[in-house]
Amino acid sequence: MKRILSLLVLAGTMSLASYAQELTLEQGKFHAGDDMSWAGVNVDESGWKTLSNMTTWTSQGVKIENGFGWYRYHVTIPKSMLEKSDLKETVDFNMAKIDDADEVYLNGKLIGKTGSFPKDPNGYHSNWNAQRVYSVKANGGLVKWDADNVIAVRCYNAGDPGGMFAGPISVRVPNTIDNLSINIKEGEGSQSVCTLVSKMQSSKSGVFSVKVEDPESGKVLSEKTMKVSVNKAKSRSISLPYDSHQMVRIVSTFTESKTGLSTTTKYIPKYILTPAAPAEPRFNTAPLYGVRPGSPIHFRFGVSGDRPMKITSDDLPKGLAINPDNGALSGSLEKPGSYTFTVKAKNAKGEQEQKFTIRCGSKIGLTPPMGWNSWNCWGLSVTQDKVISSAKALIEKGLADYGYCYMNIDDGWEAKERNADGTIAVNQKFPSMKDLGDWLHSEGLKFGIYSSPGDLTCGGYLGSIDHELQDAESYNSWGIDYLKYDWCGYGRKHRTEPDNQTVASYVRPYLLMERCLRQQPRDIFYSLCQYGMADVWKWGESVDANSWRTTGDITDTWESLYSIGFVQQTELYPYAQPGHWNDPDMLIVGKVGWSNNLRDSRLTPDEQYTHISLWSLLASNMLIGCDIAQMDDFTVALLCNHEVNAVNQDILGKQAKREVLDGSIQIWARPLSDGSYAVGIFNVGTTDARVDFKKYFAQMGISSLKAARDLWRQKDLSTSDVNYFIPTHGVKLLKIRY
Ligand code: GAL
């Protein structure tokens, strides 16, 4: 039998949250099925295969959709690890993460369990995302020092993927300092709250400090230090205020008196760059709107400023009306053509006007759609009330003043069966689609829905197959303005089709629905969702798609954002144009969760600035994926920067191209309709960077820089000093002229 022992980290003098004595293991022996004798020490492993714990068993060719599998590891734990620990209290088995539930045995004895199995008293419960760390007494006799120890892991998986997947796993003998950790949170009133937590019963004392630093210069802006003593029952907190309109780094350290060892946690709190909007009216949305002749118009002029405000026009084209109280434009235009008129907004503080053009012709979606979709927050638990609550918040928090107008229901609204006449029925979570549509339209907002060309949607709800026209007619009767049409269940049909290798076979279901939508007397933004198969960007326009998803689903991690945003979009810029957009998926800022359990996006503040900057440069659909009712000031400011949004909504409709790839620095640029350029200088690396933009001028064809503006801060910058500090995973978003 092979012993797998990949790395021995020896005791160091300082520990920065990594363990002083730690052994890591990347692979073990594996057997599918369930046999409790496999928990024991003496097991014949000759028929067992070798499997990594760095990725799921599914991705290593094991197929267990609902069932058990066991991993076994053999590890010699050197006595020197114990001797080097000042505590000599426990040995910790860090089993990383396991999909979905597990029990872990050490030398035949159960040492920990996470989640539960189907036959457990309360039934199956998945806890796939929990970090498992199981402790045993160092001198309790269970750990065999300088000898072979068997770790046996019993895993249960329900639905793909499964097994141990976030390794390497490790065996640790903690020092005092390893049992202490500091969590940093943002408290009320921009206070950084640092909490020192101990896993030990016995009290430990030392010096606890917090500093607010300028990440760029490293300068300490303020600090606080105190002597504390902590144990398992008593944590200690220290807090310090910071300026939430500036990027700062909170650094908190605890140095334990006896050993002199310390632990440090660093954290960058959310910081708001967008300046507050003036009290006077200001128009924030693109001055252009596309509609087909005869189609009803539902549009809301996006104007920020104090309320009450009156929004009016003296030269409105015939057939149109504005509700002066909310700026909702309604009516329709019979004849094709370009209609330009002046809109006025007036409040107690002042008056503003803007020229506005409606292009009545064959194209809609002349700028990328802005709005909300229920999926990234509520997943299948979406309800009509939740849609209404986000729509109300969209208005109350001012997002509607910045052009966010689509309110799109994703999967989870359909009944189990169609009506007797074959029309689609809604489930009990949606009492009335028609009422919902009418109310949204009265506010100048738009209404979106989701379906699949297959028998079932991804969430297992009814799709539109064989009922395409009936469904399009239902959408028309409810006042639907946007359809996301998701491949999903269609895959089963597609697999059986003789021509399924051809592009035509991918086009077919989308063309069919397009024909049905176009028979309706209204404009329905047609959003394809088939993850980029058969290079959809090359034929999306031919099925009159207004946008097409270019990738699989996004999630709120840097890895997902990086792969979708920076890797998978690089070649797609030629395919975006007014009316037809590449869609790299919905936004992952604010409170998301794909279920009833919402949490803050796991992206750091800089990753969120990068996300919105890149999506603006890419002329992407801007669909908010969080609960707007719970949106904090940071997220509102992130989504409501009219200069940043103007890049996304620029009427030239050109998607940014990556102009520079220099190690971890990437520069993406797009031309704008006023002759200027939007430029994003991104640092995708793991450390902060200083970038001299001048270095790339020749490569980008910039002979002499005539103007530079920081769009997030809405401030003009020097054209000679173009040296920028760009934090890890952060961005400098500029508008330049040259
Ligand atoms: C996926 C789609 C998601 C969401 C989900 C609903 O296929 O990519 O955005 O719509 O289905 O089940």
- Rounded Cα–Cα distance for residues 409 and 383 (Å): 9
Mean pLDDT of 669-690: 98
* Confidence check: pLDDT of 217 > 60: yes
Positive or negative, the Cα torsion across 490, 495, 498, 502?
Answer: positive
Gap from CA of 459 to ligand 1 centroid (Å)? 8
| Count of other CB atoms within 10 angstroms of residue 409 | 28
- Rounded Cα–Cα distance for residues 105 and 316 (Å): 76
675-700 as b/e, with b when 16 or more CB fall inside 10 Å? ebbbbbbbbbeeebbebebeebeeee
Q: How far are the Cα atoms of 212, 274, 566, 726 from residue 246, in angstroms, in the given order?
A: 11, 11, 26, 14
Question: Which one of 2.60.40.10, 3.40.1710.10, 3.90.550.10, 3.40.50.720 gives the CATH number of domain 282-360?
Answer: 2.60.40.10
- Rounded Cα–Cα distance for residues 500 and 494 (Å): 6
User: What residues form DSSP beta bridges with 197?
Assistant: 181
pLDDT averaged over every residue in the chain? 95
- Determine the pLDDT at residue 18: 57
Q: What is the DSSP letter of 316?
A: P
553 has catalytic annotation: yes
Angle between helix axes 433-442 and 468-478 (nearest 10 degrees) is 50
314 has catalytic annotation: no
Q: Residue 606: helix, strand or coil by DSSP?
A: helix
Q: Under 8 Å CB-to-CB from 94, ≥6 apart: which residues?
A: 131, 132, 133, 169, 170, 171, 172
CATH code of the domain occupying 658-737: 2.60.40.1180
Closest atom of ligand 1 relative to the 549 alpha carbon: 8
- Determine the pLDDT at residue 14: 31
Q: What is the DSSP letter of 401?
A: G
- Determine the pLDDT at residue 11: 27
Burial of 555: CB neighbours in 10 Å, binned 0-12, 13-18, 19+: middle
Gap from CA of 11 to ligand 1 centroid (Å)? 48
Of 92, 100, 411, 486, the catalytic one is 486
User: What residues form DSSP beta bridges with 350?
Assistant: 347
CATH code of the domain occupying 2-15+181-267: 2.60.40
Mean pLDDT of 115-134: 94
The residue with tokens 């603006």 is 616
Gap from CA of 380 to ligand 1 centroid (Å)? 10
Of 553, 632, 688, 710, the catalytic one is 553
- Fold identical between 2-15+181-267 and 658-737? yes
- Determine the pLDDT at residue 20: 73
- Rounded Cα–Cα distance for residues 642 and 277 (Å): 9
Q: Which mutation among 377, 410, 413, 483 tests ligand 1's pocket best, with the greatest number of atoms within 8 A of CB? A: 410
Domain boundaries, the chain: 2-15+181-267, 22-172, 282-360, 375-493+525-644, 658-737
Gap from CA of 569 to ligand 1 centroid (Å)? 19
Among 83-92, 269-278, 423-432, 538-547, the least confident range:
83-92
421-442 pLDDT per residue, tens? 999 999 999 999 999 999 999 9
Closest atom of ligand 1 relative to the 379 alpha carbon: 6
CA-proximal residue: ligand 1, atom 7 (nearest): 458
- Determine the pLDDT at residue 161: 84
Decide whether any atom of ligand 1 lies within 6 Å of the 529 Cβ: yes
% pLDDT > 70, the chain: 97
Class assignment of domain 22-172?
Answer: mainly beta
Gap from CA of 411 to ligand 1 centroid (Å)? 7
Q: Which amino acid does the sequence have at 218?
A: G
* Confidence check: pLDDT of 570 > 60: yes
Decide whether any atom of ligand 1 lies within 6 Å of the 410 Cβ: yes
User: What residues form DSSP beta bridges with 310?
Assistant: 346
- By C-alpha distance, which of 187, 189, 253, 186 is closest to 220? 253
- By C-alpha distance, which of 681, 670, 668 is closest to 727? 681
Gap from CA of 410 to ligand 1 centroid (Å)? 8
User: What residues form DSSP beta bridges with 723?
Assistant: 692
* Confidence check: pLDDT of 499 > 90: yes
Q: Which amino acid does the sequence have at 649?
A: Q
Question: Which one of 3.20.20.70, 3.40.50.450, 3.40.50.2300, 1.10.10.10 gives the CATH number of domain 375-493+525-644?
Answer: 3.20.20.70
Q: Which mutation among 482, 488, 583 tests ligand 1's pocket best, with the greatest number of atoms within 8 A of CB? A: 488
- Determine the pLDDT at residue 65: 82
- By C-alpha distance, which of 134, 127, 82 is closest to 111? 134
237, 246 in Cβ contact below 8 A? no
Closest atom of ligand 1 relative to the 461 alpha carbon: 12
